[in-house]
Amino acid sequence: MSKKRRSKPRVDISLLSASICDNENEISGKAFNISLGGVAVKCSTFERDQITPKGDYVCEGKPLEVSLVLNLPENKENNYALKARCRVVYSRRLTQDECQLGMHFLEMDAVGKERLMQFVESHVNM
């Protein structure tokens, strides 16, 4: 039996502020791990149900796409607002009141990609 391995290192982070928008709703959550390929965000069940009702992340036969703004710390005083278009790849309930959304990055500007790469590289060996 082979183990499935990630092609991109994932970094556990200390609950960075995240904002997720679909065409109608905007929710806030806390990102708790990130890689160059995607991010996982915790949010309340109520907020999750606004974006992915009852965990359903397929819309009209296609995976749901959302906009994400994630506040990446650059130093002690400054954050960088990483903006990306993402595909929701999973939506799971952790507890009665807490859920998790996994998102794959689809689009991000060149500056955002560079800042994300720097952030991941600086935290991967911590």
pLDDT in tens, 61-80: 888 899 999 988 877 788 88
Rounded to two decimals, what is the model's pTM? Answer: 0.84
> 114 CB contacts (<8 Å, ≥6 apart)?
none
For residues 3 and 20, what is the distance between their CA atoms, to the nearest angstrom? 32
Average the pLDDT over each of 6-10, 67-71, 84-88, 107-111 and give the range with the smallest value.
6-10
> 115 CB contacts (<8 Å, ≥6 apart)?
72, 74, 80, 82
Q: What is the DSSP string of 97-122?
A: SEEEEEEEEEEE-HHHHHHHHHHHHH
Kindly report, residue by residue over 12-52, the tens digit of the pLDDT.
777 688 888 888 889 999 998 999 999 999 999 999 988 88
Q: Which CATH superfamily is domain 11-120 in?
A: predicted glycosyltransferase like domains (2.40.10.220)
Predicted local distance difference test score (pLDDT) of residue 5: 53
- CA angle, residues 89, 40, 61, in degrees to nearest 5: 15
